[in-house]
Amino acid sequence: MTRIVIIDRTWSTVAPQRDIPPRATGLGCILLVLSVTLFCQPVRAQQYVGGCIVSAVQPESIDLDQPRDQVARQSDLMIPQGAHIGWIRIVRRPIFDTSDPEQDNFLYRSLNALNTPTWESALRAQLVFDEGDVYQPGTLDESERILRQSEYLTAAWIGVTRVCGNELEVTVLARDTWTLLPSVGASRTGGENKTNTGLSDPNFLGSGKSVGISHKKDADRSETSVDFDDPNVLGSHWQAGLSYDKRSDGRGRSAYLERPFYSELAEWRFGLSGEDDVREQSRYVGAEAIADYRQDREFASVDVGWRLAERNGRQLRLLAGFRYDAREFERLPDEPNLDLLPENRTLSYPWIGFDYRENRFREMTNLTRLQRVEDVRDGFEWRTELGYSSPGIGATEDRAVLNIDFRDALLVSDSNYASYGLSHSGTWRFDQARFENLIGTLNLEYFHGGSVDWNSWYTNLSYTVAHNLTVDQHLLIGGDNGLRGYPSSYQQGNRRALWTLERRYFPDWYPFELFRVGGVLFTDVGRAWFDDGRNNGPDDGVLTDVGFGLRLASSRIEVQRMLHLDFAFPLAGDDSVDQMQVLLRGRSRF
């Protein structure tokens, strides 16, 4: 019996019981053209096995070391309307491909042998589709995005690889990364040294769960931390985690349990979290820390959410919850007396809000990562929360609480990505008829190149306005938040502006097939100031620096981190500023 199958705008005859080579498919196509006088051309390398149509795009043909190859390798199959997912095939690749002569050595074979492969169940738990579901292309794309965000995977690809009548085979391809890492490191940012040691594994024994212990020391404190995170509790979409920090100046404890909107199709969410944090903070005047005090914070939150509607790719979610945020402050016996100690305050409030977004994405490369596929949102996200804090439910005074966050893509193409964001947070005190801790920020970001070329331009402009900040809140600028040529916290104010311009380079150099290397030339221009003319620091003018840097990212080990080594040269500032600042640090972005 002969049947007709429409695939990729071509026609072919199919013999269900045996394989038909491509040239036979082309002959059948010619015969069909003669009989129905239609024009067609041979099907590309598709095969027919046991009555199933097999895609020419298979996991074996995808090079996970080439992100552009991953983006280009899309399924060539025409999916029947109403088709179901019949099988999910998990293909796990080891850290190193020892079939490649350049990776076939004793060290790489040993690392493969010592690594525990990610459990198949851990990968399946992150998928937002299952066997028996009606095929929806968006669920495959979303699952691919979720897997790419995992700390323990280098890369991921999902596609339909076989069509058997009305049932589909979906293949999930993922490659492990080495995750059990002892860490011994030091960094210098804004003239201050930081050290850290520890042991962490974000894929403990291949389970996808994260455990870690670390010790850190910086100019403010030393801290020993233990943490645990489970992104898929018992194979479900529930998440849970806890952490404990022992500090030289206090402690920190936190825990959470939540079922997030794990998918665009998820109908509801629930979250529960708590935190107990004690630490010493500094009081700044004119960007100089004049004295320390102790802050004791207790925080608890419960929230729920529902997906209300979706139309034309836009989704509306209703959010509601309750928060308790208490902060107490006390003087330290060995510190100078402060002229003004922060007032104790407690916010205790129910809140309601919404989340409105466009669920449209684009795959790009070399935006914020080195030679990795990145998923950028080609649309907007808008979240707003409004609450009322009252002494009747534990607050220190009556307040209205308003938080707004809005982000949108302005331009998305093969070689360009531009976006902007607006954020606002703060409260209105009814007893004093004024705003308090009101902070608003406008941010503009633009990338050009990278996805197409081996170099790119990047620029970012941000402007922040603060109003009636309490004594424990500061708006600072320096080497730790954008001005790489200056010490940390070099200027202070209630206004802050920062502009950065970078020329980035992504050479196609892959030493030992282990590291990706990048370079950057940059300039930073910024200033923090008070609108009433108060002292804002040692140099009250506009600050500028220029410099160059190196980026190093591993494609096999701790792939979510990138080493930054920057040399920055200040062009302004007082005599206390070094002629060169060296910044060595780990970051998740370029």
Instruction: Kindly list the distances between the CA atom of residue 158 and the CA atoms of 140, 141, 395, 495, in Å, as whole numbers in the listed order.
Output: 6, 7, 50, 46
- Helix-, strand-, coil-residue percentages of the chain, each rounded to 5: 10, 55, 35
Three-class secondary structure of residue 91 per DSSP: strand
Weakest-pLDDT range from 61-65, 77-81, 152-156, 550-554: 61-65
pLDDT in tens, 504-553: 998 888 888 888 899 999 999 999 999 998 888 888 899 999 999 999 98
Task: Provide mean pLDDT across the span 167-182.
Answer: 90
Tell me the pLDDT of the chain averaged across its residues.
Answer: 86
- Residue 354's nearest CA partner among 384, 321, 311 is 384
pLDDT at 3: 33
- Which residue would you say has higher pLDDT here, 116 or 43? 116
Q: Which pLDDT tens digit goes with each residue over 181-218?
A: 777 666 665 556 778 888 989 999 999 999 999 998 88
Cα 575-576-577 angle, rounded to 5 deg: 90
Q: Where are the domains of the chain?
A: 3-176, 260-473, 488-590
- Categorize the per-residue pLDDT at 586 as very low, low, confident or very high, splitting at 50, 70 and 90: confident
Long-range contacts, 230-237 (Cβ 8 Å, 24+): 231/126, 232/122, 232/125, 232/126, 232/208, 235/121, 235/124, 235/125, 236/125, 237/125, 237/262, 237/266
CA distance 63 to 323: 47
Quick one: pLDDT band at residue 179, thresholds 50, 70, 90?
Answer: confident
Neighbours of 588 (CB within 10 A): 10
Predicted local confidence at residue 14, as pLDDT: 30
Q: What pLDDT band is residue 26 in, cutting at 50, 70 and 90? A: very low
Q: Rounded CA gap, 270 and 260, in Å?
A: 6
Token pair recorded at residue 205: 């024994």
Of residues 132 and 183, the one with the higher pLDDT is: 132
Q: Are strands 167-176 and 84-93 parallel, antiparallel or unpaired?
A: parallel
Please check whether residue 101 is in contact with residue 56, taking contact to mean a CB–CB distance below 8 angstroms.
Answer: no
Beta strand extents in 260-398 (DSSP E only): 268-285, 288-311, 314-331, 345-358, 361-365, 373-377, 380-389
User: Tell me, what's the pLDDT at 286?
Assistant: 66
Was domain 3-176 assigned CATH 3.10.20.310? yes
To the nearest 10°, report the CA torsion of 572, 577, 580, 584. Answer: -120
Residue 210 β-bridge partners: 229
477: which residues sit within 8 A by CB, 6+ positions away? Answer: 483, 489, 490, 491, 492, 496, 498, 526, 527, 528, 543
Mean pLDDT in residue range 326-352: 87
Position 456 pLDDT exceeds 60? yes
Q: Minimum mean pLDDT among 75-84, 113-122, 241-250: which range?
A: 75-84
CA distance 91 to 112: 16
Bridge partners (DSSP) listed for residue 455:
505
> Could you report the per-residue pLDDT of 343-354, keeping only the tens digit for each?
999 999 999 999
Between vectors from CA 103 to CA 519 and to CA 65, what angle results, nearest 5°? Answer: 50
Q: Give CA–CA dist 236/227, Å, rounded.
A: 21
Instruction: Report whether pLDDT(407) > 80.
Output: yes
Distance CA 455, CA 355 (A): 36
329 CB-near residues (< 8 Å, 6+ apart): 293, 294, 295, 296, 341, 342, 343, 344, 472
